[in-house]
Amino acid sequence: GKWYPERKGGKTGFVNGGFAYGSVPFVFLFTSYMDLGNYRGVLVGVGLLCCAIVAVAGWFFKDPPKGWWPAHVDPLKVSDDPKIRRALEKNPPAVKQYTPREAARTPVLWMMWFCLLCTAGINIFGIAFQVPFGKDMGFAGGIVATAMSLKAIVNGTGRGVIGWISDRMGRRHTLIIVCLVLGTAQFGVLVSGQMGSMPFFLFCSMVSGFGGGAIFPLFAAMTADYFGENNNASNYGMVYSSKLISGLVGSGMGAVVVGAWDYHGAFVLAGSVGLASAVLALFLKAPGRPEARSIVPNPHPLGEEMA
């Protein structure tokens, strides 16, 4: 995102998708080769391999200077490149470089925090309870496992695709659509299970995974768009801290709701929270940027004054 500030959505989403893609080989590794007799060796080997890969890759990372901007892209000039022009129109850069303290004083940061709390909670709820729900609805274990594998793959794919879309449609509008999709998918999972329709269940599970994965690169790119790049790690860290509570809400409170209201009430509640998140996303706007409708033209242009 720092190297592509004018089109950070697609790049951020592609990299962010590695979170989901990286889980796929380990699912096969742990289910096929690990048991109680060799788990120590497998885990130690995997840990050493991951440490080596991350260290080697990180060695080549290089940050641009503070306040860096591509030399060939003038943010004040209409670019001839339609991709850059569209991206800057839909996602203009922050009005200033906010420090973490300044960002924390803006209501929009905490609105983003709460919106991520709700959407990430729905995502974790689906990961935790779609498998037992599918089994209780009579689907074979292999079908449910397939649904979760597809959910993980689409979860990663959705991050890259939705980041690319947000460069063209705008981050906030894309987030509204993602919240609507994520919330609606919860109702679809519930209905498909009650109908006993395996294809519909697989489809809704994939759609749920798509929406659940797409929220993370959107919030990452939105934080840079709203508060600048210089302190993006700290500012996004504050927004992303809601993931801690969302895990407790999605799995812990999800279990409580399932026990009290059964799966029907739990999925209806999750879907309703997703739709409410879409309403909240309507109010996410970059701090410090005046509304276009509130800008009053100068009644005495420079030419008239000079005349």
Residue 74 inside a domain? The answer is: no
Residue 300 inside a domain? The answer is: no
Q: What is the pLDDT of residue 54?
A: 92
Residue 2 inside a domain? The answer is: no
Q: Print the domain residue range for 26.
A: 8-68+85-287
Instruction: Report which of 90, 89, 119 is spatially closest to residue 279, judged by C-alpha positions.
Output: 119
Q: What is the pLDDT of residue 65?
A: 82
**Count of C-beta atoms within a 10 Å radius of residue 157:** 19
Q: What is the pLDDT of residue 296?
A: 66
Q: What is the pLDDT of residue 174?
A: 93
Q: How far is the CA of 276 from the CAs of 128, 219, 262, in angstroms?
A: 21, 17, 21
Q: pLDDT digit of tens for each residue in the chain (307 aa)?
A: 778 777 788 888 888 878 777 777 776 677 666 677 777 888 888 899 999 999 999 999 888 887 777 777 766 666 666 766 776 778 888 889 999 999 999 999 999 999 999 999 998 998 888 878 887 887 766 666 666 667 777 777 778 888 888 888 889 999 999 999 999 999 999 999 888 888 888 888 888 888 888 888 899 889 999 998 888 889 999 999 999 899 888 888 888 988 889 999 999 999 999 999 999 999 999 998 776 666 666 666 655 555 4
The pair phi, psi for residue 99, each rounded to 5°, is: -75, 160
Residue 307 inside a domain? The answer is: no
Widest pairwise Cα distance in the chain: 91
Q: What is the pLDDT of residue 161?
A: 83
Write b or e for each residue in 279-303: b if 16 or more Cβ atoms lie within 10 A of its Cβ, otherwise e: ebbeebebbeeeeeeeeeeeeeeee
Domain count, the chain: 1
**What is d(CA 266, CA 269) in angstroms, rounded to the nearest whole number?**
5
Can you give the CATH number for the domain in which 230 is found? 1.20.1250.20
Q: What is the pLDDT of residue 227?
A: 94
Residue 22 inside a domain? The answer is: yes
Residue 213 inside a domain? The answer is: yes
Among the residues of the chain, which ranges form H helices?
A: 8-16, 18-21, 23-33, 39-59, 82-90, 100-104, 107-136, 141-169, 171-195, 198-227, 232-240, 242-247, 254-281, 302-306
End-to-end CA distance of the chain: 47
Residue 3 inside a domain? The answer is: no
Q: Which two tokens stand for residue 296?
A: 């009053």
DSSP state of 292: G
pTM: 0.79
Residue 299 inside a domain? The answer is: no
**What is d(CA 184, CA 294) in angstroms, rounded to the nearest whole number?**
35
